[in-house]
Copies of this chain bind each other. A is one copy, B any other.
Amino acid sequence: MVTPGRRRVTISDVASHAQVSVTAVSKVIRNAYGVSPAMKDRVKAAIDELGYRPQAVARGMRGRTFTIGLVLPHIRNPFFADILDGLTAYLETTDYQAFMIQGGATRKVEQRAVDALVDRQVDGIIMVAPLASRARLEEVAKEKPLVVLARHERSPHYDSVFDDDEAGAELVVEHLIELGHRRIAHITHQDDSIARPGDLLHNIRSATYERVMGEHGLADEIAVATSFYSEKGGYDGARQLLDRTPRPTAIFAGADQAALGALAALHEACLSVPADVSVAGYDNTHLAALPNIALTSVDQDGGEMGRAAGKLLLERVEGRMTPVRFSVTPSLVVRGSTAAPPA
């Protein structure tokens, strides 16, 4: 039970060292009104001399902890790293710190992660692609300022930051059709979410795929493998699709991670990309840009999304109650993995 170490410098150490009241020190560290320049200098000097840093947890007992929680499904998708970097960069200009926690693959684990954050008194929460139902998210928003990334529903109580997944998926499918493909297959993601399908990005991407196929008279060619947005998921999904006769000439994987798995499956099946089969992904992760992968993909600015999420969340922490929706417009980055279908 022994905690190693000396006693930490507290606000009253600073107060007595500067020969002022504890309140005065508190005001200075909060930049509150009602402190003379002289007192401010004096307190600041004492703070520096003693190396004082306020204990966020104690501050939280009355006010804020200056901590925000970021719930990511997992940390295996490099796209999430982009979001985190954007968020971190934004928070650097503030007094807030972000802590990350894995939301996992099930609603139960995700809920536990959120509870852990709430129990630790974070000032606000950012959830990336949550599985929770709308109702659950509203509950969370009742407890803490909340910003949700990568979901499409409109909520009165939390902010949304998302990519226009419909536009993005359209870009991919139209691109493949323009190249002359007809047998275009899709790999989508499955989860245990009970959210409405239209709220979840993978459902939007797959529904858009089906819509655009239909609009081009290709309804009969629709082929969807329901798997996971992961390397293994993409691999499994692609194998499933390649078993079809006739074989698809193009695969649109709903995420780069899955596209990587699809590329692996094609390689294993001795099919060359793009000569035999074209492949496209979504997210434009940095792996897509590697010359030996050269994956055509949809770019959505993750850094920008992270930054926006941070900004919106702090606005909420400061008291904004009206919901804001921030949407990023995707663009298609064409690389070597897509070309005209074999003759």
Contact = CB atoms under 8 A, between A and B. Distances in A.
Interface in A92-111: 97-102
Interface residues of A, number: 65
A97 B116 contact: yes
Interface stretch (A32-40, A135-143, A302-310): A135-143
B321 A4 contact: yes
Contacts of A287: 231, 260
Q: Quick one: which of A55, A145, A290 has the most chain B CB within 10 A? A: A290
B292 A53 contact: no
A76 interface: yes
Contacts of A54: 119
A27 interface: no
Interface string A285-323: 011001111000000000000000000000000110100
A292 B259 CA distance: 12
A284 interface: no
Interface stretch (A41-49, A160-168, A208-216, A262-270): A262-270
A2 B139 contact: yes
A63 B56 CA distance: 15
A28 B119 CA distance: 18
Given A61-B61, A75-B84, A267-B292, A55 B121 contact: yes
Contacts of A143: 4-5, 8
B55 A4 contact: no
A248 interface: no
B264 A121 contact: no
Contacts of A5: 142-144
Contact of A61 (B58, B65, B99, B102): B58
A56 B116 CA distance: 9
Contact of A67 (B75, B120, B260, B291): B120
A56 B264 contact: no
Contact of A264 (B99, B101, B293): B293
Contacts of A4: 141-145, 157, 321
Interface of A: 1-6, 8, 53-58, 60-61, 65, 67, 69, 74-76, 78, 80-81, 84, 88, 97-102, 115-116, 118-121, 139, 141-145, 157, 231-232, 235, 260-261, 263-268, 286-287, 290-293, 318-319, 321
